[in-house]
Amino acid sequence: MTTTRRQFIKIGALSAGSITLAGSYTWSKAASLLENKESPIRTPTYCEVCFWQCAGWVYKDEKGEIQKIIGNDEDPHCNGRFCPRGTGGVGQYSDTDRLKTPLIRTSKDGVDSFREADWDEALDYIAQRMKEIAAKHGPECAALFTHGSGGAHFGQMLKAFGSQSVTAPSFAQCRGPREVGFLTTFGDIIYSPERTDIRDTRCLVLIGSHIGENMHNGQIQEMSEAIDKGATIITVDPRFSTAASKSKFWLPIKPSTDMALLLAWMNVLIENGWYDKDYIARYAHGFEELKEHVKKYTPEWAYGITTIDPNVIRDTAREMYNASPAVIIHPGRHVTWYGDDTQRLRAVAILNALLGSWGRRGGFYNPEKAKVPDYPVPPFPVPKHMPTDAYNGKYKLANEVVSNGICDATIPTADRDCSYKIWFVNGTNLLAALPDQDQTKRAIDALELLVVVDTMPVEMTELADVVLPECSYLERYDMLRKSPHREPNIAIRVPAAEPKYNSKPADWIAKQLAEKLGLSAWFPWKNMEELLDWQLREIGSSLDEMKRIGVKKFPRKHDDLYFAPNEEIAFNTTTGKIELYSTDMEAEGFDPLPVYTAHEEPPEGFYRLIYGRAPMHTFSRTANNPNLTDIMDENSLWVNPKVAKIWGLKSGQYVKLKNQDDKLSTFSIKIRVTERIRWDSVYMVHGFGHNNTKLSRAHGRGINDTELITNVKVDPVMGGTGMRSNFVTFIVSNESTGKGAES
Ligand SMILES: Nc1nc2c(c(=O)[nH]1)N[C@H]1C(S)=C(S)[C@@H](COP(=O)(O)OP(=O)(O)OC[C@H]3O[C@@H](n4cnc5c(=O)[nH]c(N)nc54)[C@H](O)[C@@H]3O)O[C@H]1N2
Ligand SMILES: Nc1nc2c(c(=O)[nH]1)N[C@H]1C(S)=C(S)[C@@H](COP(=O)(O)OP(=O)(O)OC[C@H]3O[C@@H](n4cnc5c(=O)[nH]c(N)nc54)[C@H](O)[C@@H]3O)O[C@H]1N2
Ligand code: SF4
Ligand SMILES: [Mo]
């Protein structure tokens, strides 16, 4: 492991006063709160526990204490129902381990520690350092890594400062390949919430996408509605997921071979004429090339690769055709798996095109976003370098900034003249979100200033020069939510309580800092109330109205949720058609039609490490949440009984893991022996194994999958980090007992 100039500051070095442990808040207590009679004091919010952003109501008692959060009935993201994480979101507010005051790194006799600072001092320090560093290297040397609502505020500050390098792990570590795969095929992206018309579908095909454990609210509700109406579910997953348990067909595919299955499905559809001939003739480019291309990809060929019976491949293809065009081959969301992910998602897009589901009821609808004007500010300065310059001509088809591209460009090399020197990191725990932790640490080592804005002490805060404590989403305003949906709509977040401790909202932090940097012109509003009220009045509402209703819907501009029969459509691609054969891919030197490539296999005695979600947690951001740790406080390792037998493993036993590069896990994980996982893989939920001792509930609980992901397969098309070519073996020791079993 790389050592770092920034020592990981242990709790002893912190000058903060003693930390009291939160009282044990049980789930039944949460449930009993829910049964309370509704109190009249409620404020609207939208949830920040994950990025589905459900709109809800926060209820308080007479003393002003937050009692519960429930869904807003008018909200199309949640239809009045929150998931367990959203309900438990109060824990993000009540957690006594929260960051409490700004911290500045100091070094004495070679020992680093944090000292507490007030806001003025911390922000003066940051502004001063930013000016000095920009004077030497230009303002373009600053980058913002962000996930969540604060990004809008810090992005405004950074762009005003003179850098456009704003990036989120939700692109190159998450949904990037599907956006690029669909953009190059249909000329448009999938968006969030996904434009999948699940409620009216007759056949939903889930490839890895594990809806049910992936708790994206509206999708789950629509999926159960579709099941009630008799839709067929087909799940392709090496693990018997919750979705698989609801499926007519479960295809326990050999991991990493999905491309072979997708090509074989195309082969079956085309050879049998099971495709939408009118739709393809009218809208598609490159059908003849595709037909020729997939001839060799027979179900028998795919069987040898995927282990899926050829008859099952044919039966499932027929099932899709029978349902078409009300069929969805779901594009998934976290799709950075094997490095050829954009091509895999192109294959998914092509299948949907063959079945005519794009633009059709029960397939993919055309979402519309509410148009809300931005508060007028001067144009941002034009930077000398754009973020794309950082990747030296790579990832040309990326339609968002590539986080790992910025991370790599922070490590100085001879062939680049624009290394980053300043990172702002807001709401993203990069040591859990970016694979290859050593590379992330090397980049951090090369920085002159690292500012981390978070609500909790996590791995990233310990590496910061300055830590800024943001208040929770329940204590702040944020920008309006205006995600696209069937009906354009907006939702508002209003603080339900005063910020606890000495924490502040991102909007305030960004504006104060901008003022200290001489950038007030880009923050001309007095406060969020003024900014929001101005925006709302421009669209015929007001802050007062939104405080009362929380969510507001607007009529669609046109009746174009689906294509009209025989409608002529100009797709936003080079040919103006749905590109089965991609001219963009071809122009950039990539395969214009997706091809199958074999991926690495586990070495002897190793198993593929795969990971996913648990219904009651969101990545690492909820790992210490008192309400949610009550229902799940560690992850476990799913192991097939055959494998358990070879290794003599029993359920409940703790083991460490070592990967193919000899990387040993910091902590131990509890074994769960189950038939629900293939023998060639092991599975864990992402987000556990925190090594920050200030997290009283999460520290040492389970394993962080990220530390074992050292073999990263970067997608040449858009920079996505394929994370599933890592293999682990078991280190069994009698002493491994779970919590705190740190080496
Ligand atoms: N190994 C591995 N890596 C992955 C994934 C995986 O499954 N496995 N998943 C990938 C995917 S799909 C995604 S989208 C990304 C997610 O990546 P991230 O969103 O970075 O995930 P988290 O680890 O939850 O880090 C969130 C951080 O934000 C902080 N936070 C929470 N609420 C607030 C707030 O209101 N304000 C501020 N300022 N901070 C807040 C939390 O304390 C935490 O430190 O990770 C990707 N990386
Ligand atoms: N509760 C909860 N819900 C969440 C989140 C959360 O943190 N918590 N995060 C949200 C976010 S940001 C995202 S991106 C989504 C992610 O959710 P999805 O997009 O649904 O997740 P994936 O990572 O694609 O899928 C994980 C599944 O892939 C399977 N798998 C592993 N390898 C392979 C393979 O080679 N082939 C196939 N076919 N399957 C494979 C695993 O067994 C697992 O069931 O979840 C969202 N919803
Ligand atoms: S799905 Fe759950 S956690 Fe995500 S925004 Fe909605 S209520 Fe919150
Ligand atoms: Mo994600």
Same domain, 216 and 334: yes
Residue 97 located in a structural domain: no
The answer as to whether 151 is a domain residue is no
CB 38: neighbour CB atoms within 10 A?
11
Q: What is the largest CA-CA distance in the chain?
A: 76
Backbone phi, then psi, for 105, in 5-degree steps? -70, 135
Neighbours of ion ligand 4 (CB under 5 A): 174, 334
pLDDT tens-digit map of 471-500: 999 999 999 999 999 999 999 999 999 999
What digits encode the pLDDT tens for the residues 634-692?
A: 999 999 999 999 999 999 999 999 999 999 999 999 999 999 999 999 999 999 999 99
Q: What is the pLDDT of residues 84-100, one digit of tens each?
A: 999 999 999 999 999 99
Q: Is pLDDT of 29 > 50?
A: no
Do the beta carbons of residue 363 and residue 326 sit within 8 Å? yes
CATH number at residue 211: 3.40.228.10
Confidence of residue 41 (pLDDT cuts 50, 70, 90): confident
C-alpha distances (whole Å) from 427 to each of 124, 316, 625, 689, 707 are 22, 41, 15, 18, 19
Q: Which segment of 15-29, 329-343, 428-442, 717-731 scores lowest on mean pLDDT?
A: 15-29
Q: Is residue 249 part of a domain?
A: yes
In this prediction, residue 734 has a pLDDT band, given cuts at 50, 70 and 90, of low
**Residue 739's pLDDT band (boundaries 50, 70, 90)?**
low
* pLDDT at residue 23, as a whole number: 30
The half-sphere exposure of 604 on its side-chain side, counting CA atoms within 13 A, is 0
Q: Are residues 567 and 627 in the same domain?
A: no
CB 45 within 8 A of CB 458: no
Q: Mark 401-416 as b/e (b = at least 16 C-beta within 10 Å).
A: bbbbbbbbbbeeeeee
Say if residues 441 and 177 touch (Cβ distance below 8 Å): no
| Residue 490 CA neighbour count, 13 Å, CB half | 22
Q: Which atom of ligand 3 is nearest to the CA of 83?
A: 2
Q: Is the CB of 58 under 6 A from ligand 3?
A: no
At position 474, the amino acid (one-letter code) is L
- Structural domain containing residue 692: 607-731
Same domain, 662 and 705: yes
Instruction: Give pLDDT tens digits for 351-392.
Output: 999 999 999 999 999 999 999 999 999 999 999 999 999 998
Q: Please state the atom number of ligand 2 nearest to the C-alpha of residue 209.
A: 20
Confidence of residue 8 (pLDDT cuts 50, 70, 90): very low
For the cut 90, the answer to whether the pLDDT of residue 217 exceeds it is yes
Nearest CA residue ID for atom 4, ligand 3: 50
pTM (whole model) above 0.85:
yes
Q: What is the rounded CA–CA span in Å between residue 510 and residue 103?
A: 17
Does ligand 1 have an atom closer than 6 angstroms to the CB of 284? no
DSSP state letters, 695-730: -TTTBT-S--GGGG----EE-TTT--EE----EEEE
Sequence letter at residue 729: T
Residue 159: alpha-carbon gap to chain centroid: 23
- Cβ neighbours of residue 405 under 8 Å, at least 6 residues apart? 167, 172, 387, 390, 391, 394, 395, 398, 719
Q: Is 30 part of a structural domain of the chain?
A: no
Ligand 3 centroid from CA 88, angstroms: 10
pLDDT digits (tens, 9 = 90+) for 532-585: 999 999 999 999 999 999 999 999 999 999 999 999 999 999 999 999 999 999
Identify whether residues 293 and 205 lie together within a single domain.
yes
Can you tell me the distance from the alpha carbon of 297 to that of 267, in angstroms, rounded to the nearest whole number? Answer: 6
C-alpha–C-alpha distance, residues 293 and 4, integer Å:
50
- How far are the Cα atoms of 81, 210, 427, 627 from residue 51, in angstroms, in the given order? 15, 16, 12, 19
Same domain, 208 and 329: yes
Find out whether 422 and 447 touch, Cβ atoms under 8 Å: yes
User: What CATH number is associated with residue 630?
Assistant: 2.40.40.20
Q: Is the CB of 507 under 6 A from ligand 1?
A: no
CA 485 to ligand 2 center in whole angstroms = 22
Same domain, 351 and 260: yes
Q: Is the pLDDT of residue 82 over 90?
A: yes
| Residue listed under structure tokens 């699940």 | 198
CA of 167 to the centre of ligand 1 (A): 13
- Cβ(255)–Cβ(677) under 8 Å? no
Q: Is the pLDDT of residue 34 over 70?
A: no
**Position 121 in a domain:** no
**Counted domains in the chain:** 2
Between the CA of 138 and the centroid of ligand 4 the distance, in Å, is: 32
Specify the 3-state DSSP secondary structure of 316.
helix
Residue 16, pLDDT above cutoff 60: no
* Residues near 285 by beta carbon (within 8 Å), at least 6 away in sequence: 573, 575, 577, 578, 579, 580, 581, 583
- Our answer on whether the CB atom of 478 is closer than 6 Å to any ligand 1 atom is no
Shared domain for 572 and 643, answered yes or no, is no
Per DSSP, helices labelled H in 18-58 are 27-35
Among 539, 477, 466, which residue's Cα sits nearest to residue 153? 477
And the tokens for 263? 């090509």
* Residue 683 domain flag: yes
Tokens of 690: 């925190």
Name which of 157, 159, 152, 169 is nearest 480 in CA terms: 152
Residue 737 predicted with pLDDT over 60: no
220 in a structural domain: yes
Q: 496-512 pLDDT, tens per residue? A: 999 999 999 999 999 99
- The answer on 339 and 262 residing in a single domain is yes
Give me the mean pLDDT over the 588-616 stretch: 97
Tell me the pLDDT of the chain averaged across its residues: 93
Residue 699 sits in the same domain as residue 583: no
Q: Which residues of 607-637 are buried (b: 16+ CB within 10 A; e: fewer)?
A: bbbbbbbbbbbbbbbbbbbbbbbbbbbbbbb
**In this structure, are 317 and 355 located in the same domain?**
yes
The answer to whether residues 59 and 39 touch, using CB atoms and an 8 Å cutoff, is yes
The verdict on 202 and 351 lying in the same domain is yes
Is 61 inside a domain boundary? no
Burial of 32 (0-12, 13-18, 19+ CB in 10 A): exposed
Cα separation, 154 vs 422, whole angstroms: 13
- Rounded to the nearest angstrom, the distance between the alpha carbon of 358 and the centre of ligand 3 is 27
Q: How confident is the model at residue 715 (pLDDT cuts 50, 70, 90)?
A: very high
Looking at the structure, do residues 713 and 573 belong to the same domain, yes or no? no
pLDDT band at 294 (very low <50, low <70, confident <90, very high): very high
Atom of ligand 3 nearest to the CA of 84: 2
Is residue 54 in contact with ligand 3, taking CB distance under 6 Å? yes
Q: Which residue's alpha carbon is at the smallest distance from atom 18 of ligand 2?
A: 209
Determine the average pLDDT of the residues in 169-194.
98
Distance 434 CA to ligand 1 centre (A): 10
